[in-house]
Amino acid sequence: MVAAFKRPGWYRALLGALIAAGLGVGLVVVLRSISGLSAFQSEQTGYPQVVVPLIMAPLGFLLGLGAFDYWLRWAFGLPTIPEDHAMHGAKSWKDYFKVNTDHKVIGIQYIVTTFFFFFVGGLMAMLIRAELAQPGTQIVGANTYNSLFSTHAVLMIFVFVIPVFAGIANYVLPLMIGAPDMAFPRLNALSFWLLPIAGLLFVGSFLAPGGAFDAGWTGYAPLSTGAPLGQSFFNLGVQFAGASSIATALNFLVTIITMRAPGMTFWRMPLLVWANLSTSLLVVAATPFIAGAQFMVLFDRIMHTNFFQFGAGGDVISYQHIFWFYSHPAVYIMILPGFGIISEVISTHARKPIFGYRLMALALIGIVVLSYSVWAHHMFVAGMFSWLRVPMMLTTLLIAVPTGIKIFSWLGTLYFGKIHTKSTAMLFALAFIVTFTIGGISGVMLGMVPFDIHVSDTYFIVAHIHFVLFGGSVFTIFAGIYHWFPKMTGRMYDEKLGRVHFWGTLLGTWGTFVPMHWVGMDGMPRRVADYAGQFGNWNLLISCFAFLLGAIQLVFLYNMIVSWRFGPKAEANPWRANSIEWLVSSPPPIYNFDEIPRVVGGPYEFGIPGARHAIMPGEGAEVPAAQPTVVGH
């Protein structure tokens, strides 16, 4: 028994969490009594004696789980056991609950965890729609409602869309560039385990006195600085999620730059790799800003600092500037990896090279650069410097150009191809082009200041959000999951159910989110539990489609679970694709390759007789030995 607590694992993790929490409480009591404050009396919003343990406990948990063992041994110069429980591969489902350094295992861990939170967030959306089905408040009160859409959005953004892309890339990216693993496998494992912590903090905030955080996913000050305890859960959860995605981004960048197979020049990288390269650039440089913003709110709440306290020289609007300087790039963090997925899927299933490959890659970089210069388009009516509106409008509109390049190039890729639509992945990819174009164009309309003055903070915004995030990001996620499902699980999914899921989702998305434009322009504000009777019918319709949309996701769930267990075995390359991950078995062998493959051509050389992207060792011309790796000490 004692041994069980010594060994890294769940026992030790829970113990660690408890001890750390205890230490946290102790720390607060000591510090407060030193500074002559009553040890436990909570200052209306602060609750330091809850917040500090909330910071410590997760660290204790990670320590106990064994996320740091190797590093600590190394740091103190002790002999490091090569495989100290940071094992590779997964023999049983139990191995997915350990600190595992195998990028393929971590990828699965990511995807399953994030989809869990997708369903939780979606269930909240269902509650939102049920409440909005009729005017007046029936199911939940105004407070709960505010908590619902806040947590809904936060779960969807911070623990679904952003990390699920990291998960998919985690699985396929090292394979694609011919690397045995990520550059920092242990850091990779750590970044994953930070994620459930963030998610649990978000969901757990419902247990806090005063209910879950309810200032919207934007958490504007001073509403958030004065909000009850739940808001702190948001502030902290974002820190964990942020740390996780920064670490993953570092990992991707280093992996892509230093671990490409011999012959894989930058201009031979699949566009998914390009997409994750640009996304990681955004994450590394932008995410610290939301960390900063939430730290400031937390300090205002707990230490009663004056960042946003207008009485004491604080600046209310500065929060929005700092927040959006992250959160606009964040929306591209939520779509660029999707662009990558779509490129892979379309070129594979149209059996044709990507149209204008280089311009596609450059467009990604263009979006990265531009997206740092548009944040204030979320603040056109916020009362910020009025001179900033027009420049921000122009940069905002210009982002349509690189994005357009991508849309048109995908269309160009289809022409003179051999389009296979039997795969659900391709269906989602094609539908993505349509829905995202609509969502993007409504975005361009929002970019036009005078129109935005009218529709800002109405359901028009909600419509835009969901067309780009559900019709955009989530469609690409579905496409990616279906596309690489055979590779990840070694089994085929059921295409018939896939089709049902696809058509249901498409219908549901349009039915739910198209009418939102109309009620918005007609005068229905967002973030309201109750609304004027004139919008009743539309909202009833919206809710019905929303329930369809939700129910259809259950088909997807069923398809994935059943196919994973019982689906027919998949061969190595069911889609006859070119990139390296399809050259190894499904699922790929542990350590991916016996020898690193050699890249001899572009990634999309369909239709060119004898053209190859990569050659596996053994086959074809014999492979020149790769230069020795630099291994740290």
CA dihedral 35, 38, 43, 49 (to 10 degrees): 80
* Residue 34 sits in the site that holds another protein (CB under 8 A): no
Q: How many CA atoms lie within 13 A of 487 on its CB side?
A: 25
Q: Which of 358, 185, 183, 161 is nearest to 274 (CA)?
A: 358
Query: Of the two residues 142 and 554, which places its CB atom closer to another protein in the complex?
Result: 142
Q: Which stretch binds ligand HEA (CB under 6 A): 43-51, 294-302, 305-313, 377-385?
A: 377-385
Candidates 20-28, 505-513, 545-553, 600-608; binding stretch for another protein (CB under 8 A): 600-608
> Taking CB under 8 A as the rule, which mask of x and - marks residues 80-99 in contact with another protein?
x-xx----------------
For the beta carbon of residue 610, count every other beta carbon within 10 angstroms: 6
Out of another protein, ligand HEA, Cu ion, none, which partner does residue 234 contact, by CB within 5 to 8 A per kind?
Answer: none
Interface with another protein, residue 377, by CB under 8 A: no
- Piece of the chain touching ligand HEA by CB under 6 A; list 174-182, 248-256, 402-410, 585-593: 402-410
Q: Which of residues 117-146 bind another protein (CB under 8 A)?
A: 141-143, 146
- State which of residues 325, 432, 484, 556 lies at the interface with another protein (CB under 8 A): 325
Task: Tell me the C-alpha to C-alpha distance, in Å, between residue 35 and each of 31, 55, 56, 227, 276.
Answer: 6, 21, 21, 25, 48
Can residue 588 be called a binding residue for another protein (CB under 8 A)?
Answer: no
Q: How many residues bind another protein (CB under 8 A)?
A: 169
Distance (Å, rounded) from C-alpha 20 to C-alpha 104? 31
10 Å Cβ neighbour count for 71?
Answer: 13
**Considering CB distances under 5 to 8 angstroms, the limit depending on partner class, which of Cu ion, another protein, ligand HEA, none binds residue 321?**
another protein
Shortest CB 410 distance to another protein, Å: 9
Upper half-sphere CA count for residue 448 (Cβ side, 13 Å)? 8
Q: Which residues pair with 212 in a beta bridge?
A: 230
Residues that bind Cu ion (CB under 5 A): 328
Least distance from another protein to the Cβ atom of residue 624, Å? 10
Nearest to 452 by CA among 393, 411, 399, 403: 393
Please pick, from the candidates 12, 129, 352, 613, the single residue that binds ligand HEA as defined by CB under 6 A: 129
191 or 320: CB nearest Cu ion: 320
Residues in the chain: 633
Peptide bond preceding 222 in cis form (omega within 30 of 0): yes
- In this structure, are residues 124 and 207 in contact, taking their beta carbons and an 8 Å threshold? no
- Among 1-9, 487-495, 549-557, 621-629, the segment contacting another protein (CB under 8 A): 621-629
194 lies in the binding site for another protein (CB under 8 A) = yes
- 323 vs 234: CA distance, rounded Å: 14
Query: What is the rounded CA–CA span in Å between residue 159 and residue 205?
Result: 15
Contact pattern for ligand HEA over residues 190 through 219, marking x by CB under 6 A: --------------------------xxx-
Nearer CB in complex with ligand HEA: 317/400 = 400
Q: Which one of 108, 198, 331, 614 is in contact with ligand HEA (CB under 6 A)?
A: 331
d(C-alpha 502, C-alpha 508), whole Å: 10
Q: What is the DSSP letter of 599?
A: E
CB under 5 to 8 A by kind: which of Cu ion, another protein, ligand HEA, none does 119 bind?
ligand HEA
Spell out the SS3 assignment of 520-542: HHCCCECCCCCCCHHHHHHHHHH
- Which of ligand HEA, Cu ion, another protein, none does 462 bind, CB closer than 5 to 8 A by kind? ligand HEA
First-residue to last-residue Cα distance in the chain:
36
Residue 474 partner contact from another protein, ligand HEA, Cu ion, none using kind-dependent CB cut-offs of 5 to 8 Å:
ligand HEA
Give the residue carrying structure tokens 């905030």.
Answer: 205
Residue with tokens 């990604």: 364
What is residue 212's three-state secondary structure?
Answer: strand
Quick check: 303 binds another protein (CB under 8 A)?
yes
The rounded distance, in Å, linking the Cα atoms of 528 and 525 is 7
CB of 506 to another protein, least distance (A): 14
> Does 5 contact another protein by CB under 8 A?
no
Q: Is 198:287 a contact under the CB 8 Å cutoff? A: no
CB nearer to ligand HEA: give 243 or 335. Answer: 335
Interacting residues toward ligand HEA by CB under 6 A: 119, 122-123, 125-126, 128-129, 149-150, 152-153, 156-157, 161, 216-218, 331, 334-335, 377-378, 380, 396, 399-400, 403-404, 407, 437, 440-441, 443-444, 446-447, 452, 456, 461-462, 464-466, 468-470, 472-474, 512, 526-528, 546-547, 549-551, 553-554
